[in-house]
Amino acid sequence: MTGPAFTPRVFSGIQPSGGLTLGNYLGALKRFVEMQNDASHECVFCLVDLHAITVWQDPKALAQQTREAAAGFMAAGIDPAQSILFNQSQVAAHAELAWLFNCVARMGWMGRMTQWKDKSGKNTENASLGLFAYPALMAADILAYHATHVPVGEDQKQHLELTRDIATKFNHDFGVDFFPITEPVIDGPATRVMSLRDGTKKMSKSDPSDMSRINLSDDADTIAQKFRKARTDPEPLPETYGDLKDRPEARNLIDIYAALTGKSTDTVMSDVAGQGWGQFKPHLAEVAAETMAPITDEMNRLLGDPGEIDRILGEGSAKAREISEPIVARTRDIMGMISSG
Ligand code: TYM
């Protein structure tokens, strides 16, 4: 069966559940900007506040974090005149399509998600129902726009496979070719930036230790201190990237450096081979601070006018509704629901 040709459209989202990290920047934001600037895709970027509340969020902090994330997107280069930038809860199509998908997706699929297992931990009885259904809402985010490409970090791969499963099952159950089978876009040296304290854990905004991550809001001194204290092994840097196979902390710092400079990991290795950490870490910190400082400054400037951020998110939401409402209306129609409009 050859499906309809879907217009190339990028969708991606970030949870405003804390400040943005270098992992979000290198694994997601930086690549969103590249996709926006490669004019072949229409881009839709979303601050997924409905996902954030699957675990407890203080209401005042959530609003502030959402504005901070919006400012971070714009400071990193997302242009709201070129891309659609909005917060999820302003577009009811997401919650509505998520409900329809809750009735397509299977409990077993959700139970196998590693994020569900990690976040619910040993106390699944007390986890929110929303946390369990999280991936159906994520599928709704993507499919409400008939998005064809979704740039994400490595940790979202399983959720994107589930999005494809939901689209496939819907199309099959209702005998239609209505939802696209979305392509995950997971590439570059920084699809999984690791914690600076533990090379086996990903860098995360929810890690209790602030020293484990670089925040988009950190100043140059803080960045330098965090890289100086980053956990490493005692060996100097080897000749080839392959030699870092069993050295996760060292490999992570090389990956970060490669992603920041846009150099291949092979080129980086030939530049730094033989260096000790005392030489490499300050250099890495300098490169990171140079890249991040203009973004942090611009983010803080934008945050000085929260009304303007809210206005931009409102405008983005209106554009997002224009695309998603007809798609969700058609979904209802396919499922046999009567509409009077
Ligand atoms: P979230 O908010 O955890 O992360 C946002 C994006 O940043 C990437 N990322 C990383 N990349 C590399 N290294 C890291 N340490 C790192 N930490 C985070 C994530 O892979 C992601 O691309 N469920 C999603 C949000 C979401 C979404 C969507 C994404 C909701 N709906 C629809 C794409 C499409 C999440 O929690 O991302």
Asked if 24 contacts 14 with a C-beta cutoff of 8 angstroms, the reply is: yes
Pairing of strands 84-87, 149-151: unpaired
Q: Is the same domain home to 120 and 215?
A: no
Q: Is the same domain home to 180 and 92?
A: yes
- Below-50 pLDDT ranges, the chain: 1-2
Judge whether 166 lies within some domain: yes
CA-CA distance, 317 to 50, in Å (whole number)? 14
CA-CA distance, 291 to 300, in Å (whole number)? 15
Residue 323 sits in a domain of what CATH number?
A: 3.40.50.620
Q: Is the same domain home to 263 and 223?
A: yes
So what's the pLDDT on residue 88?
A: 98
So what's the pLDDT on residue 40?
A: 81
Q: Is the same domain home to 220 and 292?
A: yes
Q: Is the same domain home to 297 and 322?
A: no
Closest C-alpha to ligand 1, atom 33: 12
- Tell which one of 156, 160, 200 to mutate to probe ligand 1, the residue whose CB is within 8 A of the most ligand atoms: 156
Instruction: Work out which ligand 1 atom sits closest to the CA atom of 138.
Output: 31
Judge whether 52 lies within some domain: yes
Judge whether 190 lies within some domain: no
Closest C-alpha to ligand 1, atom 36: 15
Q: Is the same domain home to 20 and 156?
A: yes
Q: Quick one: tokens of 142? A: 């993507």
| Helix residue ranges per DSSP H, 175-209 | none
Each residue of 83-129: pLDDT tens digit? Answer: 999 999 999 999 999 999 999 999 999 999 999 999 998 889 999 99
The single-letter DSSP state of residue 6 is P
Q: Is the same domain home to 292 and 312?
A: no
Q: Is the same domain home to 71 and 214?
A: no
Does ligand 1 lie within 6 Å of residue 203's CB atom?
yes
- Tell which one of 152, 182, 191, 196 to mutate to probe ligand 1, the residue whose CB is within 8 A of the most ligand atoms: 152
CB atoms within 10 A of CB 189: 22
CA-CA distance, 76 to 53, in Å (whole number)? 25
CA-CA distance, 302 to 297, in Å (whole number)? 9
CA-CA distance, 240 to 268, in Å (whole number)? 9
Judge whether 234 lies within some domain: yes
The single-letter DSSP state of residue 41 is S
Q: Is the same domain home to 276 and 145?
A: no
CB atoms within 10 A of CB 303: 18
Domain housing 172: 9-185+306-334
So what's the pLDDT on residue 171?
A: 98
So what's the pLDDT on residue 341?
A: 66
Does ligand 1 lie within 6 Å of residue 14's CB atom?
yes
Residue 235 sits in a domain of what CATH number?
A: 1.10.240.10
Instruction: Work out which ligand 1 atom sits closest to the CA atom of 193.
Output: 13
Q: Is the same domain home to 295 and 314?
A: no
Taking the C-alpha atoms of 94, 137, 203 and 82 in order, what is their torsion angle to the nearest 10 degrees?
A: -30
Q: Kindly calculate the radius of gyration of the chain based on its CA atoms and give it in whole angstroms.
A: 21
Judge whether 200 lies within some domain: no
Can you point out the beta strands (E) in the chain? 9-14, 42-47, 84-87, 149-151, 183-185
Asked if 184 contacts 28 with a C-beta cutoff of 8 angstroms, the reply is: no
238: CB partners within 8 A, 6+ apart:
244, 269, 273
Judge whether 127 lies within some domain: yes
Does ligand 1 lie within 6 Å of residue 66's CB atom?
no
CA-CA distance, 84 to 63, in Å (whole number)? 19
SS3 226: helix
> Which residues are the active-site residues?
119, 202, 205
Q: Under the phi-then-psi rule, with left for phi > 0, alpha for psi from -120 to 50, and beta for the rest, what region is 188?
A: left
Q: Is the same domain home to 236 and 113?
A: no
Q: Is the same domain home to 77 and 153?
A: yes
Closest C-alpha to ligand 1, atom 37: 14
pTM score of the predicted model: 0.96
